[in-house]
């Protein structure tokens, strides 16, 4: 079961890189629909030209819908960094992750504390350039460091996680 044993530094850069796990794909899709609708309404009211107020309102709505996912990601990663600093007293720490029969074991190498994230509690998985980010239903968040995995392990990781975690959703 140690085929996915990884270790690395959990820090602000890692949190920022994996921030997309906080915004569900359905939300991004819905946001794009609202943005397109608002833009079409802006064009309609601009071309008709009878009411500039509605035109400005829909232009403002486009700006809000375009910027909101980025603001949401930023809010979540700032909160994660604040929690990290509160819990560890530093802005980074060394982390080891590995899988056993019951789930994913996350071990803080500096305090030697560990936690088990059971397979049935793992809800979301997201992939970035350097990490696989995993989040539970209770919003616990951890990383699998890709630089510790072979190319074959990187390719099979998501498939293996889908088999072990029955309700896993992969966020792209």
pTM: 0.74
Q: What average pLDDT is seen over the chain?
A: 84
What would the pLDDT profile of 4-29 be if each residue is shown by its tens digit? 899 999 888 888 888 777 777 777 78
pLDDT in the model for residue 75: 84
pLDDT in the model for residue 118: 93
pLDDT in the model for residue 33: 86
> pLDDT-derived band of residue 121, with 50, 70 and 90 as boundaries?
very high
pLDDT in the model for residue 108: 86
Q: Cα(135)–Cα(58) distance, rounded to whole angstroms?
A: 35
**pLDDT of residue 144 exceeding 90:** yes
**pLDDT of residue 133 exceeding 60:** yes
Helices (H), 11-103: 12-17, 25-48, 52-88
Q: Cα(85)–Cα(167) distance, rounded to whole angstroms?
A: 31
What would the pLDDT profile of 44-75 be if each residue is shown by its tens digit? 878 877 677 777 887 888 888 888 888 888 88
Question: Mean pLDDT highest for which of 24-38, 60-74, 109-123?
Answer: 109-123
What Å distances lie between residue 105 and 8, 58, 89, CA to CA? 14, 48, 22
pLDDT in the model for residue 46: 80
**pLDDT of residue 99 exceeding 80:** yes
> pLDDT-derived band of residue 132, with 50, 70 and 90 as boundaries?
very high
Judge contact between 121 and 138, C-beta under 8 A. Answer: yes
| pLDDT, average across residues 85-109 | 86
pLDDT in the model for residue 65: 80
pLDDT in the model for residue 1: 53
Judge contact between 76 and 22, C-beta under 8 A. Answer: yes
């Amino acid at each position: 079961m140690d085929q996915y044993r990884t270790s690395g530094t959990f820090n602000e850069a890692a949190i920022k890189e994996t921030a997309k796990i906080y915004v569900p794909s359905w939300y991004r899709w819905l946001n794009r629909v609202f943005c397109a609708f608002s833009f079409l309404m802006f064009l309609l009211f601009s071309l008709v030209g009878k009411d500039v107020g509605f035109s400005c309102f829909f232009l403002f709505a486009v700006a809000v819908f375009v910027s909101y996912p980025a603001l949401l990601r930023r809010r979540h990663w700032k909160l994660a960094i604040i929690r990290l600093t509160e819990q560890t007293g530093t802005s980074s720490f060394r982390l080891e992750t590995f899988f056993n029969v019951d789930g994913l074991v996350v071990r803080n190498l500096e305090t030697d504390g560990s936690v088990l994230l059971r397979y049935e509690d793992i809800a979301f998985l997201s992939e970035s350039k350097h990490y696989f980010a995993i989040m539970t239903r209770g919003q616990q968040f951890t990383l699998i460091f890709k630089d510790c995995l072979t190319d074959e392990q990187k390719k099979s990781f998501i498939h293996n996680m889908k088999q072990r975690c029955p309700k896993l959703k992969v966020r792209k």
